[in-house]
């Protein structure tokens, strides 16, 4: 008789598949909640600030608008320095300090007694957010396992899906029912909770031995803009420019069309579309590569803008809102995952800062660039032009990144311009408890 138990001895046994590294850690959940709280604070205040400035200080239309946008001016200025000094000074130290200032600024609105003081507080508030958000996002991409960057980025930025709808709702309901002080007290409580979570959150730090004090403190152009991902950030800038047309002009456009209620529903559907797509697009990006998510998202965004420009009825704005959530809303975490995978760990904060600088420039300059187009040609032409810009953005994306077969930071046709192997696209693991 033959002993069957001897069969297959010495033959290679199939390896058990490696389990996925854990994504939903305590620190990842804390970071996501902090992002939700500070983003809700931002949207609540940016919605109500122009009305507050006009009501309390008799500010004209331009001055009232600046009361809302001064926050972005402060944040943009902070990002110039944040990318470098977040690592130099320490991510945890920067985030706790800046969230403390962020919280104090929300409380300070209660004591503002002049328009000039209001603008000062808005700018300081924006500076605090610029530093804190850069430190938080850079830390999150070290906490997320490298093989799950797309998925993790999508879940982390789910926190940005609710505030565009929740913030304006809070602002309108609180200010109308209980007054502006109630709005300021609520955002102060949200900010204080974000600060408390940051205190107990474990944040990975970057230590680069052998760096002299001059190199650590000096600021070079490459410490402000990360050249390796700047072309990808340009894609983000054009996205910001085109989506700002919705944030800035949709209410006026809807009023002209007699569809003002549809404009309100647009943002609810936008948040819903963003929320749903971010639940699965990150996993698709990790498994099949960046292009599998980014090309469809850009096409959805083109369709959204085209429908908004056409607008034969309210249904077009409703569908356009859903498509914008699935298009623009998907692009933000997808591009941030591209950036994180393209850089070594000590450059991620600068890459994140570069991304936000370009986004802020797109948002900030949109009214100046698109306003004259509206005055000369009308809203429909402006939105049609935005659809054309997004279509051109498809070509730009292909030129700077899409022509490479990219999956989890590995470039199938060689590294991007200015990148070197093997460090590019490979992130050393960082122990969050260090």
- 55-85 burial, b if ≥16 CB within 10 A, otherwise e? eebebeeebbbbbbbbbbbbbbbbbebbbbb
Residue 306 predicted with pLDDT over 90: yes
- Please state the domain extents for the chain: 24-205, 225-418
- Give 7's pLDDT tier (boundaries 50, 70, 90): very low
Q: What fold characterizes domain 225-418? A: Growth Hormone; Chain: A; (1.20.1250)
Cα distances from 429 to residues 86, 320, 424, 426, 433, in angstroms, run 19, 41, 14, 9, 12
Name the residue among 305, 192, 285 with its Cα closest to residue 244: 305
Backbone angles phi and psi of 407, in degrees to 5: -145, 120
CA distance 283 to 206: 27
Predicted pLDDT at 210? 53
Q: What is the mean pLDDT of residues 222-231?
A: 85
CA distance 390 to 382: 13
- The percent of residues in the chain predicted with pLDDT above 90, rounded, is 35
Dihedral sign for Cα 105, 106, 108, 113, please. Answer: positive
Predicted pLDDT at 13? 54
Q: What is the mean pLDDT of residues 184-194?
A: 96
Same fold across 24-205 and 225-418: yes
**pLDDT, tens digit, for every residue of 158-175?**
787 788 778 877 887 888
For residue 348, what is the enclosing H or E element?
Answer: helix 348-377
Cβ 164 vs Cβ 43: under 8 Å: yes
Cβ 161 vs Cβ 270: under 8 Å: no
Q: What is the mean pLDDT of residues 78-106?
A: 88
Structure-block tokens of residue 104 = 């104090």
CA distance 186 to 106: 9
Predicted pLDDT at 286? 86
CA distance 94 to 239: 29
Cα dihedral value 244, 248, 250, 256, nearest 10: -140
How high does pLDDT run on average in the chain? 82
Predicted pLDDT at 15? 55
User: What residues contact 8, with CB distance under 8 A and at least 6 apart?
Assistant: none
User: CATH for 24-205, among 3.30.460.80, 3.40.50.720, 1.20.1250.20, 3.30.499.10?
Assistant: 1.20.1250.20
Name the residue among 33, 38, 34 with its Cα closest to residue 125: 38
Predicted pLDDT at 217? 66
Predicted pLDDT at 406? 55
Greater confidence (364 vs 35) lies with: 35
**pLDDT, tens digit, for every residue of 286-301?**
888 899 999 999 999 9
Predicted pLDDT at 427? 31
- For the ranges 96-105, 198-207, 235-244, the lowest mean pLDDT is seen at 198-207
- The percent of residues in the chain predicted with pLDDT above 70, rounded, is 85
């Amino acid at each position: 008789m033959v002993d069957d138990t001897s069969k297959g001895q010495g033959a290679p046994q199939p390896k058990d598949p490696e389990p996925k590294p854990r994504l939903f850690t305590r620190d990842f959940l804390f970071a996501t909640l902090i992002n939700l709280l500070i983003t809700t604070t931002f949207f609540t205040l940016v919605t109500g600030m122009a009305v507050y400035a006009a009501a309390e200080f008799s500010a004209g239309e331009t001055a009232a608008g600046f009361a809302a946008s001064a926050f972005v001016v402060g944040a943009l200025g902070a990002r110039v320095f944040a990318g470098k000094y977040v690592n130099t000074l320490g991510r945890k130290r920067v985030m706790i300090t800046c969230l403390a200032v962020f919280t104090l600024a929300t409380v300070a609105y209660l004591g503002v007694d002049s328009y000039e003081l209001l603008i000062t507080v808005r700018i300081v508030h924006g500076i605090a957010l610029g530093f804190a958000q850069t430190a938080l996002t850079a830390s999150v991409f070290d906490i997320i396992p490298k093989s799950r960057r797309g998925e993790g980025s999508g879940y982390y930025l789910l926190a940005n899906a609710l505030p565009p709808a929740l913030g304006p709702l809070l602002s309108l309901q609180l200010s109308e029912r209980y007054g502006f002080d109630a709005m300021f007290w609520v955002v102060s409580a949200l900010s204080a909770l974000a600060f408390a979570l940051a205190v107990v959150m474990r944040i990975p730090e970057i230590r680069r031995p052998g760096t002299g004090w001059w190199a650590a403190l000096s600021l070079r152009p490459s410490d402000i803009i990360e050249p390796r991902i700047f072309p990808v950030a340009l894609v983000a800038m054009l996205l910001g420019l085109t989506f700002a047309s919705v944030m800035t002009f949709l209410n006026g456009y809807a009023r002209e069309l007699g569809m003002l209620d549809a404009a309100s529903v647009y943002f609810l559907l936008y948040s819903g579309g963003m929320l749903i797509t971010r639940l699965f697009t990150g996993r698709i990006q990790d498994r099949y590569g960046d292009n599998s998510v980014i090309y469809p998202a850009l096409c959805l965004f083109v369709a959204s803008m085209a429908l908004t420009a056409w607008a034969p009825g309210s249904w077009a704005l409703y569908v356009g809102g859903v498509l914008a959530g699935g298009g623009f809303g998907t692009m933000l975490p997808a591009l941030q995952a591209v950036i994180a995978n393209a850089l070594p760990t000590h450059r991620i904060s600068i890459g994140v800062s570069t991304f936000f600088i370009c986004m802020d420039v797109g948002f900030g300059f949109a009214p100046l660039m698109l306003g004259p187009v509206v005055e000369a040609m009308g809203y429909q032409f402006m939105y049609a032009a935005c659809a054309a810009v997004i279509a051109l953005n498809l070509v730009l994306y292909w030129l700077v990144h899409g022509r490479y077969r990219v999956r989890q930071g590995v470039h199938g046709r060689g590294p991007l311009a200015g990148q070197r192997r093997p460090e590019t696209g490979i992130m050393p693991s960082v122990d969050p408890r260090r």
